[in-house]
């Protein structure tokens, strides 16, 4: 396959799902902000305890930021295909064996997403019976992110299944040239230009 054909194939893979690039960007920014907030709250917790005037509510903030960063990061990693699964095996195969392995992997991810949605929602509902101290906030505030993450992971896995079955799962690994980025090709940060 010529390089031009590979570039066209890469562009066609994302035509239908281009709006998810913006969702991914928002998730990545949110994850970065949550990690920064987590680091800041841990630092503030250490400083306030060291000077003898601890802010007890910082532990709640820290745990909330940490949990939300983990689950939002998992959703972003699924979209970016950076999460931990058996990519080495799939990438070493070609043709029908690769298609089968890739489909099975995406179905496993969909199964995990279904568990996150179902059990996350069950825990969310049960969380209204327990409260966090010292604020008295229902613990459901921590569990709210779990079913939402499951929905995003399911959406991203379905996107990968549809695109992979329609166009193949082979990934073209290359660097975008300055001209392509200037034209708006290949970068999710280009403002949505085709």
Cα–Cα–Cα angle for 48, 53, 55, rounded to 5 degrees: 65
Total number of domains constituting the chain: 1
* 58, part of any domain: yes
In this prediction the pTM is 0.74
* 176, part of any domain: no
Indicate the burial class of 1 (C-beta count within 10 angstroms; 0-12, 13-18, 19 or more): exposed
* 126, part of any domain: yes
pLDDT in tens, 169-181: 765 444 555 555 5
Divide the 194 residues of the chain into consecutive groups of 10 and give the mean pLDDT of each group.
Answer: 50 62 92 96 95 91 95 91 65 80 89 96 94 88 95 94 82 52 51 49
* 191, part of any domain: no
* 6, part of any domain: no
Which tokens sit at 11?
């562009």
pLDDT at residue 3 in the model: 55
* 182, part of any domain: no
pLDDT at residue 143 in the model: 94
Per the structure, the complete domain to which residue 143 belongs is given by: 15-170
* 188, part of any domain: no
* 190, part of any domain: no
Partners of residue 65 on adjacent β-strands: none
Q: Percent of the chain scored above 90 by pLDDT?
A: 51
């Amino acid at each position: 396959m010529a390089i031009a054909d590979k570039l066209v194939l890469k562009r066609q893979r994302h035509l239908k799902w281009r709006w998810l690039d913006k969702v991914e960007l928002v998730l990545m920014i949110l994850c970065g902000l949550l990690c920064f907030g987590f680091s800041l709250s841990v630092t503030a917790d250490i400083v306030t305890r060291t000077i003898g005037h601890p802010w007890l509510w910082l532990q709640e903030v820290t745990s909330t930021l940490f949990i939300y960063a983990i689950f939002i990061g998992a959703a972003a990693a699924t979209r970016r295909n950076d999460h931990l699964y058996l990519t080495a095996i799939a990438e070493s195969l070609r043709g029908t064996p690769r298609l089968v392995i890739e489909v099975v992997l995406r179905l496993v991810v969909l199964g995990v997403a279904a568990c996150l949605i179902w059990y996350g929602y069950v825990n969310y509902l049960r969380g209204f019976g327990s409260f966090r101290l010292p604020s008295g906030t229902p613990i459901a505030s921590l569990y709210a992110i779990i079913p939402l993450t499951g929905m995003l992971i399911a959406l991203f896995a379905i996107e990968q299944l549809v695109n992979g079955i329609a166009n193949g799962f082979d990934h073209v690994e290359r660097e975008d040239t300055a001209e392509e980025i200037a034209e708006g090709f290949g970068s999710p940060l280009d403002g949505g230009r085709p």
